[in-house]
Amino acid sequence: MKYPFDAFREDVIKKLSSLGYDNLRIEEPKEEIADLALPCFQLSRTLKMPPDKIAEEVASKLEAGGWIEKIEATRGYVNFFIDKNRLADETIKLILSLKDSYGKLDDKNKKVIVEHTSANPNGPLHVGRARNPIIGDTMARILKFGGYDVITQYYVDDMGRQVATLFWGVKNLDIEVEESKADHRYVVFYQEASKLMEKDERVREEINNIIKRCEEGDRELLQEIKKIYKPVLEGIMESLNRLHIYMDEFVEESRFVLDGSVYEIIEKLASLPYAGEEGKAIYLDLEEFGIHGRNKKFFLTRSNGTSLYAARDIAYHIWKGNRADIMINILGEDHKLEAEQVRIALKLLNEKIPDVIFYSFVSLPEGRMSTRKGRVVYLDELIDEAISRAREELVKRGREENEKIYTEIGIDAIRYNIIKVNPDKAITFRWEDALSMEGESAPFIQYAHARCSSILRKADFHPLNHYDFTHQSEIKLIRTLAKFPDYITRSINSRNPAIIADYAYRVASDFNIFYRDCKVIGDDKEKERLALVMATKQVLKNVLSLLGMEALEEM
RNA sequence: GGGCCUGUAGCCUAGCGGAGAAGGCGGCAGCCUUCGGAGCUGCAGAUCGAGGGUUCGAAUCCCUCCAGGCCCGCCA
């Protein structure tokens, strides 16, 4: 699919090429300035001419044409302007004909596995971890839209200390818990068992023994453990489903022990010159790969011969890499070192390397979230609170108390408020931010969509052969609608879903300005404007679906 | 001791080599005889953490320092 701005960019490149200027960096300035621009400062040295002279000369040699309406030289830049009439006409037609597919990019014929969440199934998700599934799910949606074949995966750590502790707790402790949701009920056993383990040597040994048996590949025990963690995992997924997050596949860590692949990989790594042994434990010395200090030793096995988590992670990535062209992992920043170690190991084995989106933590004003210290806000609490807050807002506005609507508004507010911040930025959780429903927020965007729907309900839309727009608020809106595919590309290339959240806001904001300036129903330009409203509604719907949010007809 | 990330107005954020640093919240002043006011307009508010450097050009790149987060276990 070639979109108007793509065609325009090609025309600009072609023009410059006709003068012998190839491979120059063309930039996209602020839209009030121009649509594309060529800065001439670097050419200044080779051509031995002042930049403004170069710009003037280039501009004078080029003629408008094709998608280019006008070429101007300004202060050392050659500015290119797109043919606005054609842009408006073609963009509107394109949106109205492509509908839900508008903005999609060509099929890449590449398979992507997005691994996200992968939380230990020992209790409910708290909001400190909620960033992970929201980033992962949104990125997966964007990649699909961008033409990739995407599968989402949850890597289930079914043989680590946390699950073993949970298992021990459930088997040995007798605790009455009223909670009906399994993740919330079982976490109490986990917490109790953790406490006991700290002060009771025997408990610790029993748990260690469970871990050891798992690592040795005790299928029966693993099955028993699965019976315990499964309901917890289902509880986690139930919470995620509330946020419109679904998972395609669950991959159990134990499979890489059971099928022996971890040990094959360890053997291969152990034969490398970087390998070493301490007792019987095998490690790689990563000094040469830029990892210094006391953590340069990357251990793959324990001295009892069993594999370590990171070794299994390597096996998992090799397995994944055989099933995908691109791997994208969503990980908390605390996993940076481990991810780097795994990356080096994969490289040494000549295997595919994953891209990782790291996110910073969500903490509370009092400090980092901790289930143990009771300093947590669970995702379910946040969701419940958001929904009840959305209901209040509806009541406040004298609207109908429709459960489907306020549930949707509450949920989407959470998703939006989390996704709009770049992943590498730490977030301090504050209820008023997490539940924000005005300004840069989900309801702002949904409201624009509901407004479009409301207008369209009141009038009959008939398509035209040609669309003509003149008001600057119309043009600004259309330009924003036309840039949708560019934002998809940017978001995918930079692996940053926050870019799409920002785009959604811009569309809604530009629509509000258009709405203020341009009367639709009853105006001379009603037919054109109805088409523009229709197109805006479509783009809002498409972008909302990328964010996992619902396009509401009313709210 | 070693390393990664972040620092932009009272608060939250965008921009990450190019053209008066862009939004939101909060504050102040306005906008309902127009299609939904979860909206819109205007005003005030920024030595882009500090100091050096590279460059025709630095919030953006490099170095040093300061502050905050995160990691450095034969845990996961």
Amino acid A54 CA to nucleotide B56 C1' distance, rounded Å: 14
Question: Which fold does the domain A381-546 belong to in CATH?
Answer: Isoleucyl-tRNA Synthetase; Domain 1 (1.10.730)
State mean pLDDT over A152-164. Answer: 95
Any idea which nucleotide's C1' is nearest the CA of A433?
B12
Residue A382 has pLDDT above 90, yes or no: yes
Angstrom distance, A173 CA to B3 C1'? 42
User: What token pair was written down for A339?
Assistant: 């991810």
pLDDT at A70: 94
Give me the mean pLDDT over the A58-83 stretch.
Answer: 94
Q: pLDDT at position A234, please?
A: 97
CB atoms within 10 A of CB A165: 25
Q: How confident is the model over A307-342, as pLDDT tens digits?
A: 999 999 999 999 999 999 999 999 999 999 999 999
Nucleotide nearest to A296 (CA to C1'): B72
**Residue A169, CB-side half-sphere exposure with 13 Å CA sphere:** 25
Nearest residue by alpha-carbon distance to C1' of B11: A433
Q: Which residue is nearest to nucleotide B6 (CA to C1')?
A: A425
Band of pLDDT at residue A358, cut at 50, 70 and 90: very high
Neighbours of A555 (CB within 10 A): 22
- A91: which 2 tokens? 């963009």
Residue with tokens 């492509």, as numbered in its chain: A98
Within 10 Å of residue A303's Cβ, how many Cβ atoms? 12
C-beta separation of A19 from A34 below 8 A: no
pLDDT over 90, % of chain A = 87
Give the model confidence (pLDDT) of A479-536 as tens digits. 999 999 999 999 999 999 999 999 999 999 999 999 999 999 999 999 999 999 999 9
Which pLDDT band holds residue A146 (cuts at 50, 70, 90)? very high
Instruction: Please say whether the beta carbons of A154 and A118 come within 8 A.
Output: yes
- Whether A439 has a pLDDT exceeding 80, the answer reads yes
Write down the pLDDT at residue A368: 86
Which chain B nucleotides are covered by protein, judged by CB under 7 A?
1-7, 12-16, 18-20, 23-26, 34-41, 56-57, 68-76
pLDDT surpasses 80 at A372? no
Residue A35's contacts (CB-CB under 8 Å, 6 or more residues apart) are A5, A8, A28, A80, A81, A82
What residue is closest to B31 (Cα–C1')? A516
Measure A417 CA to B10 C1' (Å). 21
Q: Which residues of A52-76 are buried (b: 16+ CB within 10 A; e: fewer)?
A: bebbbbbbeebeeeebbbebebeeb
pLDDT recorded at residue A463: 93
Share of chain A above pLDDT 70, in %: 100
Token pair recorded at residue A390: 């959305």
Q: How far is the CA of A4 from the C1' of B35 (A)?
A: 30
Q: Are A494 and A500 in contact (CB under 8 A)?
A: no
Residue A357 has pLDDT above 90, yes or no: yes
Q: Could you tell me where the beta strands, DSSP code E, fall in A316-370?
A: 326-332, 355-359, 362-363
Strand pairing of A326-332 and A111-115? parallel
How distant is C1' of B9 from CA of A548, in Å? 33
Round and report the angstrom distance from CA (A12) to C1' (B68): 46
Lowest mean pLDDT, pick from A112-126, A143-157, A262-276, A283-297? A283-297
Note the CA–C1' distance, A286 to B3, in angstroms. 13
For residue A370, give the DSSP letter: B
Please say whether the beta carbons of A478 and A92 come within 8 A.
yes
CATH 3.30.1360.70 fits A4-82, yes or no: yes
Asked if the model's pLDDT at residue A22 lies above 90, the reply is no
Terminal CA-to-CA distance of chain A, rounded, Å? 34
Rg (CA), chain A: 28
Which residue is nearest to the C1' sugar atom of B39, using CA? A512
- Token pair in block for residue A381: 């609490």
Coil, strand, or helix at residue A251? Answer: strand
Task: Tell me the pairing of strands A427-428 and A362-363.
Answer: parallel
Whole-number Cα distances in Å, A114 to A80, A155, A527: 39, 11, 43
Give the CA A244 to C1' B40 distance in Å.
32
* Residue A365 pLDDT class (50, 70, 90 cuts): confident
DSSP string, A381-423: HHHHHHHHHHHHHHHHTT----HHHHHHHHHHHHHHHHHTS-T
| Count of beta carbons in the 10 Å neighbourhood of residue A126 | 22
| Axis-axis angle for helices A442-457, A526-546 (nearest 10) | 140
pLDDT digits (tens, 9 = 90+) for A43-69: 888 888 899 999 999 999 999 999 999
Pick out the nucleotide with least CA–C1' distance to A522. Answer: B35
Confidence at residue A293, expressed as pLDDT on a 0 to 100 scale: 73
Residue A305 has pLDDT above 90, yes or no: no
Residue nearest to nucleotide B18 (CA to C1'): A39
For residue A378, the 8-state DSSP code is B
Domain limits of chain A? 4-82, 159-238, 381-546
- Judged against a pLDDT cut of 90, whether residue A221 lies above it is answered with yes
Looking at residue A128, what is its pLDDT?
87
- Any idea which nucleotide's C1' is nearest the CA of A436? B25
Residue A290 predicted with pLDDT over 90? no
Length of chain A measured in residues: 555
Q: What is the predicted pLDDT for the residue at A23?
A: 84
pLDDT of residue A257: 96
User: What does the pLDDT read at residue A399?
Assistant: 87
pLDDT bucket at A112, cuts 50 / 70 / 90: very high
